[in-house]
Structure 1
């Protein structure tokens, strides 16, 4: 989850989140499964992109059980999208 002032930095952070395999569930909120190494790499990439004086980035660890217990209201995301499974579509 982030609040980043600069449009260019915000776009780059979103891109590295997607490249890490995270799913965008809101404009500035991503969710997914990362091992420790990939989380550390993502953290370093984001630190290089943001202005630590004005921007905020939150990385919250969440277990599968905690995700399953999450309450979703309104136009929430589909929890089935957030899995450890590799999904592929062949055309």
Structure 2
């Protein structure tokens, strides 16, 4: 499992809602309106990318999937209304299918 950031900028509400749902269905935690974070294995990352690709218009939309190792995640600076790091780094985050 690898920590993954998913960041997107999607023009149409319907596509944006679908990408948000895909991220949630993969067990990712929403840290901002268009930013998700969580642990995924390689197959889940590939699946997420393929599903998102089907929803977006590549001429105007973008979805970024950034893997991050544990050491780098521990160095993330949380400022202001930051997310709860334990929700995405510990076993507290549970996937429901």
Q: Same fold (TM over 0.5)?
A: yes
Gaps of 5+ in 2: 1-6
Between structures 1 and 2, the one with greater strand share? 2
Secondary structure of 2:80 counterpart: coil
Greater relative contact order, per chain length (Cα 8 Å cut-off, separation 6+)? 2
Secondary structure of 2:20 counterpart: helix
Rg (Cα) greater in structure:
1
Gaps of 5+ in 1: none
Give the TM-score normalised by structure 1: 0.91
RMSD of aligned C-alpha atoms? 1.3
Secondary structure of 1:45 counterpart: helix
**Which of residues 37, 43, 52 is equivalent to 2:43?**
37
Question: Moved runs in structure 1, 4+ residues, more than 6 A?
Answer: none
- Cα distance, 1:63 vs. partner? 1.0
Q: Distance in 2 between matches of 1:87 and 1:31?
A: 11
Give the TM-score normalised by structure 2: 0.86
Q: How many residues align?
A: 88
Aligned residue for 2:3? Answer: none
